[in-house]
Amino acid sequence: MLEETARRRGFFWPSFEIYGGASGFIDFGPVGAALKRKIEEKWRDFFVRKQHLTEIVTPIVMPGKVFEASGHVAHFKDPMVECTKCKRRYRADHLLREFVPVETESLTLDELEHKIRENTVRCPECGGELSRPEYFQTMFATTIGPYSEAVGYCRPEAAQGMFINFKRLSEIAREKLPLGVAQIGKALRNEISPRQGPIRLREFTIMEFEFFFDPEKKSCDQLENVANERIRIVPVELRLRGLEEPLDLTVADSLRKGYILNEWMAYFMALSKRFVTELGIPLDNQRFHEKLPKEKAHYSAQTYDHEVFLERWGWTELAGHAYRTDYDLLMHSKHSGVDIRVFEKHKEPVRKNLRVLRPVASTVRRTFKQRTHEVLELIRKADLNEVEKGFSEKGYYQFEDLRILPEHVEIKLEEEVETGRRFIPHVVEPSFGAERLVYATLEYAYSKIKDRTVLRIPRDLAPIQAVVLPLVSRDGLPELAGRIYDNLTAEHFDIEYDEAGSIGRRYARADEVGVPLAVTVDYRTKDDETVTLRDRDSWRQVRVKINDLSDVIKRYLSSNVSLEAIETSLTS
C-alpha cells in the first residue's frame, strides 16, 4: 500500500525497471529525493551543527589494504549455497531459517552444511540439491587503474574514511579531544539475495559519525541534558534470559545498571531517540536492542541497534550505536606503520626514575674478547625485563649464541622527563541509514481520512512546502497565482503550482504527497489581495493577505502551532 503510493506519486521505486530491475537498488523520485535530502539536512543540523562535529567527504571506492587493515576483508562475508541443478545461489543461513526455525548467527560452514543436510533443505526454486556452503565476500570488488592486482572495494561503511584521516583531522583540531567526525554518503554491500525492498539495499546512504575521546577521561560533559530522558532498552543481560520485552529506563539508570558501557554512547542514544521521535515515530514504537556477542560486528565492544516497528518488516534497525574502542585506529596504525596516537601535554612535566640496563665494559671485554663491540650493543638494546627473567630463571640471558651473565651488566636508576602522554583514542559510533529513515517516516506519516490518503509528513520535512492553486483556469487567476508562485520560489520555499482538475481533486493530490499548505487564489483575491490557506492535517482554512503569506508559511513550517493561531496572532 505504502509502496504503491510511493511508486505512483514519485517517492521511490525499484531501480532499472525498464531492464527488469536488479534487487537491492532503489531510485528516489522528485518528492522522495526531496524528503531524503531534508532528513539528511535535519540530521546534519541535529548532530553535526548542534553537537559541534566536523564533517568530511571521503571516497566510496577505496584500496584493498584499507579493508584488510580494518578487518572487513576477513570478516565481511556471508555463507552461500548453490543449487547443484539450476545453479541458483542463496544465502545459506537465511535459506535454512526459512525451512527450520533455528538460530543461525554463530554457525560455522560445517555446522550450516550439517543442518542443511539434516533438515533436507533443498533449492526453493527447482528442488535441486544444495552445494556445500562457502563464504561470499559482501563488498563490491573492483580494480583501481589498469593493474589487475590493484584491488579496490566500494566501502561498506563510511567509517574507514574517518579513521584513516584521523591523524590529519586531529592536527587540524589542534589535537583537542573529544573530536566528532561525521560523514553522509553512499555505502555499498553486495548482498547475496536481498529480498526486503527498500530495507535491505545493496546501495544505501549512510549518515554516521565517529566520536573520538580519551579513554582515561570518558565521562560525557553533556550527560545531564539527557540523564532523565526515558529510553526503551533490551540489554543482552535480558536477551540471554530469553526476555525481549524492553525495559523503560532513564538514561542515567541504564548507565548505573551497566546496560550501556559508555556515557558518550548513552548520550548519543538519547539524542538518537529524540531525532527519530521528531520524524514522527512514537516512543512506544522504538527500542534499543543490544546485539549478542555473536551478532556484533568484529570491531565492536557493545552494539545497540535503534529499532522501530514497521508494519511489513517488524522491528527494523534505523541506526546502530557501536562502541568501537581503539580497534580501528590500532589496526590502521599497525598496518600503515604510521603513529596515529594523540599527544596530550602534561600541565607540568613529569619526572620519572627509570631502571635501565647498562653493560659493564671490563667484564664484557674479558669474556667476549673480539666480539666485545657486538655484545655491548646487544646489552644496550636488550629488554630489561627479558634479561632479568633469564637471570632469575636460568642464571643467564641467551641471545643467539651469546650467553650474558649478571656480571656483564648493571642496572641503574636514571631520571627521565615526560612532557606528556601519547595514546590512541576510543570511539563510539552512531550510524544511521537514510533510506530506512525515509521509509519509516513515510510509514508513520501515512494515514487515511475518509478513504483518502493523507501523508502527515512532519512540516519541517515536507518535500513540497506549499502548492499554489488558481481556483479556475481563467479570468486572470492563473496569472495572479503564477506571480505568487514565483515570489515564494524566489524566497527559497519549495513550491508547486497546479491548475489541472477540480480544486477538490487538487487538494487530494497535495494531501497524498504530504504538502502541508495549499494557497488558493480565487475571485476575492483580485479584490482584497487575500488568499485561502488550507492545512493538510485539519483541512481547515484561513484567509491571509498576500503580503503576509511568506511570513505565515515560514512560521507554520517551523512550529507545531495551528494555522488559526498564527493567523489570529497576525490580525490581532
Q: Does 191 bind a second copy (CB under 8 A)?
A: yes
Helices within 337-464 (DSSP H only): 361-368, 372-381, 384-394, 434-445
Which CB atom, from 489 or from 541, has the smaller least distance to a second copy? 489
**Subset of residues 196 to 215 that bind a second copy, contact rule: CB under 8 A:** 202-203
Binds a second copy (CB under 8 A): choice among 1, 17, 228, 479 = 17
Which CB atom, from 139 or from 322, has the smaller least distance to a second copy? 139
Q: Does 243 bind a second copy (CB under 8 A)?
A: no
Q: Does 193 bind a second copy (CB under 8 A)?
A: yes
Which CB atom, from 274 or from 352, has the smaller least distance to a second copy? 274
**Of the listed pieces 16-24, 412-420, 444-452, 526-534, which binds a second copy according to CB under 8 A?**
16-24
**Subset of residues 525 to 544 that bind a second copy, contact rule: CB under 8 A:** none
- Cα–Cα distance for residue pair 387/391, rounded to 1 Å: 6
Question: Are the CB atoms for 453 and 512 separated by under 8 Å?
Answer: yes
- Nearest alpha-carbon partner for 284 in 226, 243, 232: 232
Q: Does 59 bind a second copy (CB under 8 A)?
A: yes
Residue 536 corresponds to which cell in the numbers above?
Answer: 493538510
Task: Sketch the per residue contact string, 24 through 43, with a second copy: x for CB under 8 A, - otherwise.
Answer: xxxxxxx-xxx-xx------
Q: Does 490 bind a second copy (CB under 8 A)?
A: yes
In the complex, minimum distance from the CB of residue 137 to a second copy, in angstroms, rounded to a whole number: 10
In the complex, minimum distance from the CB of residue 447 to a second copy, in angstroms, rounded to a whole number: 22
In the complex, minimum distance from the CB of residue 541 to a second copy, in angstroms, rounded to a whole number: 26
Binds a second copy (CB under 8 A): choice among 188, 271, 484, 553 = 188
- Nearest alpha-carbon partner for 535 in 513, 550, 549, 519: 519
Q: Does 167 bind a second copy (CB under 8 A)?
A: yes
Question: Are the CB atoms for 463 and 513 separated by under 8 Å?
Answer: yes
**Subset of residues 313 to 332 that bind a second copy, contact rule: CB under 8 A:** 332
Binds a second copy (CB under 8 A): choice among 19, 392, 417, 450 = 19
How many residues contact a second copy, by CB under 8 A? 79
Question: Are the CB atoms for 121 and 95 separated by under 8 Å?
Answer: yes
- Nearest alpha-carbon partner for 159 in 185, 139, 178, 135: 185
Find out whether the peptide bond into 133 is cis, omega within 30 degrees of 0. Answer: no
Q: Does 172 bind a second copy (CB under 8 A)?
A: yes
- Cα–Cα distance for residue pair 139/135, rounded to 1 Å: 12
Residue 42 corresponds to which cell in the numbers above?
Answer: 535535519
**Subset of residues 128 to 157 that bind a second copy, contact rule: CB under 8 A:** 136, 140-147, 150, 152, 154
Q: Does 334 bind a second copy (CB under 8 A)?
A: no
* Mode of pairing for the β-strands spanning 134-137 and 77-82: antiparallel
In the complex, minimum distance from the CB of residue 336 to a second copy, in angstroms, rounded to a whole number: 4
Q: Does 63 bind a second copy (CB under 8 A)?
A: yes
DSSP annotation of 471:
S
Which CB atom, from 153 or from 368, has the smaller least distance to a second copy? 153
**Buried residues in 169-207 as b, exposed as e (16+ CB within 10 A):** bbeebeeebbbbbbbbbebbbbbbebeebbbbbbbbbbb
- Nearest alpha-carbon partner for 212 in 319, 342, 118, 354: 342
Q: Does 340 bind a second copy (CB under 8 A)?
A: yes
Q: Does 61 bind a second copy (CB under 8 A)?
A: yes
Q: Does 126 bind a second copy (CB under 8 A)?
A: no
Binds a second copy (CB under 8 A): choice among 75, 114, 117, 168 = 168
SS3 string of 272-307? Answer: HHHHHHHCCCCHHHEEEEECCCCCCCCCCCEEEEEE
